[in-house]
Structure 1
Amino acid sequence: MHTTPTPRITRRGLLAGAGAGAGALALGLSVPHAQAAPVSLPQANIDQLFDDFLARHAVDHFNRPFTRAIDPTQYECTPDDAVDVWMTAQMARLSEQDRQVIQEAGLDILPAVDAMLTTDVTGASYALTRHAHDLRKTFTKCQRFWDIDGSDITLMAMSTDIYTDVERMVRAYTELGLDAATSRELAEFVKSYVPSSKGLEGGHFPLLSFNAFAYSTFGQQPQIVDRIVMGEGLLRAYDELGFGDVAPQVVLAHEYAHHVQMEIGMITPDTMASSTPEGTRRTELHADASAAYFASHPKGLSMQTKRILAFGKVFYGIGDCQFASTGHHGTPKQRHAAAMWGVQVQESTRPKSRIRPTRVLRDEFDAKLPELIAPDA
């Protein structure tokens, strides 16, 4: 059955083929790799199948690879050095064979497809591990803070143990559009290959789950409940960059804000079906502002402004410059400005304990948006 789900998948790009152009975080890297003979994989155009899958599910924020289109005459769009250096270090550990397998077998796709479509959201495979306590606590606070009904949203992890589960991989491959025989052949290959790869860390290579997203089918598939999916690799990155005290909470708050948008009509099946770069940028920047507002609010996370913005510099530094893409999230400068605005709204509110209604905050944001995205802002 065709559905019109609305994920907000903030994937930060992963692998282009060897020698490909730079991705969103300089992923077309000139780094040494151990040479290995090419492996023999079943013929499957994963890139095209994935594009078709995204179109069927109205997903417009999960690009593979996530390339950057820079217009330096209008926008400042430089990736954050800290994230760039961290990702370069991760990529340097992969062999050429690892790269080939990730690209041609879609290893970076499987956990997201699995997390989007599983009905076993409370199963052990999808249990939070890294920062589980902080994430659950923040999730509960989000539900209490915003004036929408969030009781039907599930918080879960993106599971990389899928690489050991042939049946789950077969399902993911068939959902992408592969025939049953090819799906099983690929799944059996992945199960045998991943444990043998030192670079892939037994499937825990962080860039395979460097993602977080909110997802809903707007009730068109009742068995697929609304969800927020947190990737282990994304949280690991921010831990290693020194932001483990703020990253899990702020990333989750951003994704929860997308569910708020679904409830107040900013995101609907119609807006997803006719998404535009400008429309997506609006919802992404609003989610940035809402997350910062919640994180700094005394009834939210009550975080220090300096810490929120310090993390924001890194988090929003992986904004994108795909100005013509329907998945355009806003430039790093615009995303930082939106977060700063959210903090300023909270700081200017009297009494300090007052929480702005979601629709009021939306209207105030829309009035501010032209200033936030102005090229010379």
Structure 2
Amino acid sequence: MKKLLLLSLVSLFFITSCSEEPVESLTNDTELQALKVESAKAELLTFIRGNNINSILRSKETLLKSSNTKSSSIQGINRSNIADYDHYNSIVERVINGDDYECDLTELDYYVQSIIADWDDNDRFLYSNLGASIVFDAAYVFDNVDGGQYYGPEGQFTNQMNRTYKDLLRFWNIPTDILLRDAHGNVFNDLETVTNLLLLYGYSPEDAAYLAELMQIVYGSDKYDNFKHPLLTFNAFAARADDFWGTPKKIVMGDGLLTAYEDLGYGDVAPQTILAHEYGHHVQFAKNVVFLGTPESTRRTELMADAFAAYYLTHKRGATMNWKRVQQVLEVSYSIGDCGFLSSSHHGTPNQRRKAAAFGHNIANNTKKKGKILTAEEFIELFEDELPTLIAPDNLDDDLILE
């Protein structure tokens, strides 16, 4: 099976070279490349279905118990045991799988639908099983050194991200040993990194190298925008330090999510909003906010991070956004809401997320001493008092926001 791609291309060359009447369509470089891509995709699909495997970065316990386990019987946990990672994946999965929605679609949902309009069932299956998590698992495990980062496919958000990050480090009263890392689809062009990651998933060295080469061909194709398709990097998350993996405290920002908001017209505010939200999780980590992994607990911590973000973005010693830009922040918060009430990655409904952001804005905007920054402890106490109102089953109040 490993030689199928090579043999098919050799056979194709032999046929086109020896036929009495050359078939021009097969000698065209573009069409030859398309055939190569389709062959690689077919091999990936065959392998995945034959081995019943998807991308699983295994836990310490699973690695220790199954060091000699064949790849076809791997069991483990996805390293996406991080609420935001799961949440953004769920946005894509609910569109890919066509599940019923319990509340209105948001701009982000429609955006995802639009960028996979040309995908067939095989494309969706391949992405879900061996594509969605590769870039972020690689960033989580391997990208542990500061320097050389750029944000956005062309680096268009780099200055914006770096300024906001430095500002957040001085704004909140927590330790600042947090690494900000980028995530780009061109990791698929790095065969060594992808192969090493696949080894952690439990693949044999032969299979890992084989699959890495096939993914390089497929995800480097036009359908995936030559490694730049937004869904290859459609995520952002905050993670604690992990002694087993040797990873520091970290925030990872994917190109795809930044591109999506740029395309939707929020490029001026979304990068800061998302980064401030992820930094809010590190505030929670530092202040021992409890994460239980239940729908209600996750909703609480996510709405709190939304409020943290809006407070920083509005504050006179924070990002000092004006009212027009704050309104855009509220729309960003609204667009990433969900109605997965029974999901452990439930982040709150669109209205609840917008209300949480509005709460943070109001706290900053109405502070009598404009230069005073609340401590994280003070802000958390205010939020806990407000939480029942934020999640109450009512419509968004028009007078909730104060200019």
TM-score of the two chains, using structure 1 as the length reference: 0.79
Distance 1:373 1:305, change over 3 A: same
Q: How does 1:171-250 map to 2 (within 5 A)?
A: 171-195=196-220, 197-217=221-241, 220-221=243-244, 223-250=246-273
Distance 1:53 1:304, change over 3 A: farther
Structure 1 residue 259, shift from structure 2 partner: 0.5
Q: How does 1:1-377 map to 2 (within 5 A)?
A: 39-41=42-44, 42-43=47-48, 44-47=51-54, 49=56, 53-54=76-77, 58-63=81-86, 66-67=93-94, 77-80=103-106, 82-94=107-119, 98-104=123-129, 106-122=130-146, 124=148, 126-128=149-151, 129-150=155-176, 152-195=177-220, 197-217=221-241, 220-221=243-244, 223-267=246-290, 271=291, 274-376=292-394
SS at 1:200 equivalent: helix
Tell me, which stretches of 5 or more residues in structure 1 are unaligned?
1-35
- Between 1:129-138 and 1:317-326, the stretch displaced more is 317-326
Deviations, residues 242-301 of structure 1 (Å, cap 9, x unaligned): 11111111111001000010000014xxx4xx4211111111000000100100111000
SS at 2:180 equivalent: strand
- Structure 2 distance, partners of 1:54, 1:308, is 38
- Between 1:54-63 and 1:310-319, the stretch displaced more is 54-63
Structure 1 residue 71, shift from structure 2 partner: 8.6
- Structure 2 distance, partners of 1:346, 1:59, is 28
Superposition RMSD in Å: 2.5
State the match for 1:23 in structure 2: none
For residue 167 of structure 2, what is the amino acid of its counterpart? Answer: K
Distance 1:78 1:121, change over 3 A: farther
Structure 1 residue 307, shift from structure 2 partner: 1.9
Question: Which structure has the highest helix share of the two?
Answer: 2
- Structure 2 distance, partners of 1:45, 1:222, is 26
Structure 1 residue 324, shift from structure 2 partner: 1.3
- Structure 1 distance, partners of 2:370, 2:219, is 52
TM-score of the two chains, using structure 2 as the length reference: 0.74
- Structure 1 distance, partners of 2:253, 2:264, is 18
Answer yes or no: is the 8 Å Cα contact 2:173–2:376 preserved in 1: yes
Distance 1:100 1:56, change over 3 A: closer
- Structure 2 distance, partners of 1:136, 1:251, is 13
Distance 1:50 1:230, change over 3 A: same
Distance 1:250 1:48, change over 3 A: closer
Tell me, which stretches of 5 or more residues in structure 2 are unaligned?
1-37, 59-74, 396-403
Structure 1 residue 120, shift from structure 2 partner: 4.0
Structure 1 residue 160, shift from structure 2 partner: 1.5
Deviations, residues 73-119 of structure 1 (Å, cap 9, x unaligned): xxxx3122x33333222112445554343234x11210010111114
- Structure 1 distance, partners of 2:210, 2:305, is 41
Distance 1:55 1:159, change over 3 A: closer
- Structure 1 distance, partners of 2:273, 2:303, is 14
Distance 1:312 1:70, change over 3 A: farther
Distance 1:225 1:347, change over 3 A: same
Number of aligned residue pairs: 327
SS at 2:237 equivalent: strand
SS at 1:161 equivalent: helix
Structure 1 residue 149, shift from structure 2 partner: 1.4
- Structure 1 distance, partners of 2:228, 2:79, is 29
Distance 1:211 1:58, change over 3 A: closer
Structure showing greater radius of gyration is: 2
For residue 372 of structure 2, what is the amino acid of its counterpart? Answer: R
Taking only the aligned residue pairs, the percentage that are identical comes to 34
- Structure 1 distance, partners of 2:275, 2:298, is 18
SS at 2:165 equivalent: helix
SS at 1:85 equivalent: helix
Structure 1 residue 201, shift from structure 2 partner: 0.9
Distance 1:48 1:107, change over 3 A: closer
